[in-house]
Structure 1
Amino acid sequence: MANRESIGKAIATARKARGATQKAMAEQTGINKTTLSEIENGRFTGSLDIFERYLDAVGLQLQVSPKQHQLPDWDDIDTLFDED
C-alpha cells in the first residue's frame, strides 16, 4: 500500500536519478523548494495540481487503484476478543 512517505521517497529517488537538486526542480516547476521537500518527506497536504506538476517533472504519474483491505490473522482476532 502506498502512503505519503513511500510516495515521497519514490519521488526523491526519481529526482536524484535525474541528477537534479530540489533547488533545480523548484526553478523548473515553479514550485517552492520547501513544498518539494514536504512532498518528498510525506508531509505535503496541498493541492493535487502542485503534486501532479512535481510528479510530471520527475517522470512519474499518479495512478489510482482500488483500496486493498487486509484481514487480520486468526491469532490477532483471538487477541481482540480475549477477555482478561
Structure 2
Amino acid sequence: MSQSPVTIYTKFGCGYCVRAKRLLDQKGVDYTEHDITMGGPKRDEMLERAPNARTVPQIFIGDTHVGGSDDLAAMEREGRLDTLLEA
C-alpha cells in the first residue's frame, strides 16, 4: 500500500505535537518532521502552505492541510484519516 507523504511542523516542548506524532506512530505512518522552534525557512514554508496557521503542530498529508492535533484526532475518530493517507 502506498502512503501519501505526511509532513508535520512542530516546536520543542509542544504537548499537542507529541500527541499528533504519537497517533501517527501508532498507525505506523512515516512522516517528515520540521522543528520550527527557532523559526527559519521551514517556518516560512509552513506559513506559505497554511497562511493563517499560528500554532503547532501543522499537519499536511500530501497537499491537504489537515490542521493541528485535534483535527488529526477528529479525522481518526471519524474514519477519514486512513482514506486520506492512502490517497
Instruction: State whether TM-score is above 0.5.
Output: no
Ranked by relative contact order (alpha carbons within 8 Å, sequence separation 6 or more), the top structure is 2
Using the size of structure 2 for normalisation, the TM-score is: 0.32
Q: Which has the higher strand share?
A: 2
Larger radius of gyration: 1
Using the size of structure 1 for normalisation, the TM-score is: 0.33
